[in-house]
A = this chain, B = another copy of it.
Amino acid sequence: MTASPVPLVIDTDTAQDDCVALLAGLLDPAADLRAITMVAGNVGFERQVRNAWLTLNAAGRLGSVPVHLGSRQPIVRPWESAENVHGDGAGGLEMDVTGLAPESEHAVDALVRMAAERPGELSIVAIGPLTNIAAAQLKDPGFASNVKALYVMGGSNNGRGNITAAAEFNFYVDPEAAKAVFAAGFEVVVVPWDPLTLRQAVFGERRLAEIDAMGTPLSDFFTRVCAATLEFDRSVGIDGTTHPDSLTAAVLLHPELVTRSARYHVDVETAGELTRGYSAMSWGVHGLAANATVVEEIDAEGFYRYLRDLLATPTTPNRETTAPPR
């Protein structure tokens, strides 16, 4: 890849595959990661920040990328966690965080500022609830057009949800934010949970063994942060670890991984009794104008090799970490 690196921010509720997505942002030469912005989602907000530090440390990049704290709750609804899925989100890894501090600038302000500084340059990889993105748009109606592209992990493309039959977690947790974002005029690319993630971004036993056998610090990190989710996935019939967030980063950085995508009208249900956070993805036959590109198919083997090679990167953690026995 000789193109210049892609300037991006990763907006994350850091746990499990969010960590892997951050590694892509930190270590892939195709990425120019300008900031990490934190949003309420998977696990406790402070725990998520700790997970982000742990990931920066695993990449040997502690201190090199600003971390901005953002929305600690959804716009309207009480926060709901996915700790039953992810545990602490980092497999019990611990680290002395003395001296580590997030930026004083709020994540939403940072997003607005960075997008406005160089309109049309910055891409955002949004792999948590869309609270920060909606708040940034609310603050600056020009935000959507200042952002080059918004890559969203969320929803399902007329498939199964995860937290309910109807809804995927990110959209479920803050459906109002998700609805607002799809109405705001961003260039949106969506990486859905089902069928895309469930069919093409699940790493089964063979791949997990291959990664673990590499024996790099990052492969160990990967195995640890994915352990709780793997156990949960198996309990619900998914035979492997799921990688929607790192896939979202990957398709921004390596668009050639996308083998099929299509334009859709995407909207999000906020009012249903059974369908809170359901993503209505209309494929062009209902008379609704398209507002998003939905990734339908990827080079699954290529994506796996991408992550495997990423985890093979030699790194020197900045600080020591402790971990429970595996």
Count residues of chain A with CB under 8 A from any CB of chain B. Answer: 48
Query: In the complex, what residues of B have CB within 8 A of residue A235's CB?
Result: 285
Contact A270–B269 (Cβ < 8 Å): no
Query: In the complex, what residues of B have CB within 8 A of residue A73's CB?
Result: 138, 141
A280's partner among B135, B138, B275 (CB-CB below 8 A) is: B275
Which of A73, A75, A283 gathers most chain B CB within 10 Å?
A: A75
| A274: Cβ under 8 A from any B Cβ | yes
| A267: Cβ under 8 A from any B Cβ | yes
A285's partner among B166, B237, B286 (CB-CB below 8 A) is: B237
Identity of the chain B residue whose Cβ is nearest the Cβ of A275 in the assembled complex: B275
Contact B180–A285 (Cβ < 8 Å): no
Known interface pairs A108-B139, A135-B135, A158-B159; A75-B180 also in contact (CB < 8 Å): yes
Contact A280–B160 (Cβ < 8 Å): no
What is the minimal beta-carbon distance from A183 to any residue of chain B, in angstroms?
8
Query: In the complex, what residues of B have CB within 8 A of residue A281's CB?
Result: 165
Contact B269–A275 (Cβ < 8 Å): yes
| A179: Cβ under 8 A from any B Cβ | yes
Chain A at the B interface: SS class: loop
Query: In the complex, what residues of B have CB within 8 A of residue A71's CB?
Result: 138-139
CA distance A215 to B185 in the complex (A): 51
Identity of the chain B residue whose Cβ is nearest the Cβ of A235 in the assembled complex: B285
A286's partner among B165, B271, B275 (CB-CB below 8 A) is: B165
Known interface pairs A138-B75, A180-B75; A274-B285 also in contact (CB < 8 Å): no
What is the minimal beta-carbon distance from A22 to any residue of chain B, in angstroms?
24
CA distance A271 to B135 in the complex (A): 21
Contact B160–A165 (Cβ < 8 Å): no
A179's partner among B76, B135, B141, B183 (CB-CB below 8 A) is: B76
Scan residues 244-290 of chain A and give those whose CB is less than 8 A from a CB of chain B: 265, 267-275, 278, 280-283, 285-286
| A13: Cβ under 8 A from any B Cβ | no
Contact A164–B282 (Cβ < 8 Å): yes
CA distance A159 to B179 in the complex (A): 20
Contact B158–A194 (Cβ < 8 Å): yes
What is the minimal beta-carbon distance from A15 to any residue of chain B, in angstroms?
20
Query: In the complex, what residues of B have CB within 8 A of residue A273's CB?
Result: 269-272
CA distance A109 to B183 in the complex (A): 24
CA distance A71 to B108 in the complex (A): 14
Scan residues 133-150 of chain A and give those whose CB is less than 8 A from a CB of chain B: 134-135, 138-139, 141
Identity of the chain B residue whose Cβ is nearest the Cβ of A160 in the assembled complex: B158
**16 extra interface residue pairs, beta carbon distance < 8 Å, beyond A76-B270, A269-B274:** A71-B138, A75-B76, A76-B179, A76-B180, A156-B158, A158-B158, A160-B283, A164-B280, A165-B265, A165-B281, A236-B285, A237-B283, A268-B274, A269-B272, A272-B274, A275-B280
9 nearest A-B pairs in the assembled complex, by CB-CB distance: A272-B272, A271-B271, A165-B282, A275-B275, A158-B160, A236-B285, A274-B280, A271-B273, A76-B176
A-B contact pairs, 28 of them (CB 8 A): A71-B138, A72-B141, A75-B76, A75-B180, A76-B179, A76-B270, A108-B139, A135-B135, A135-B138, A158-B160, A158-B161, A158-B165, A158-B194, A160-B283, A164-B280, A165-B281, A166-B275, A236-B285, A269-B272, A270-B273, A271-B271, A271-B272, A271-B273, A272-B274, A272-B275, A274-B275, A275-B278, A278-B278
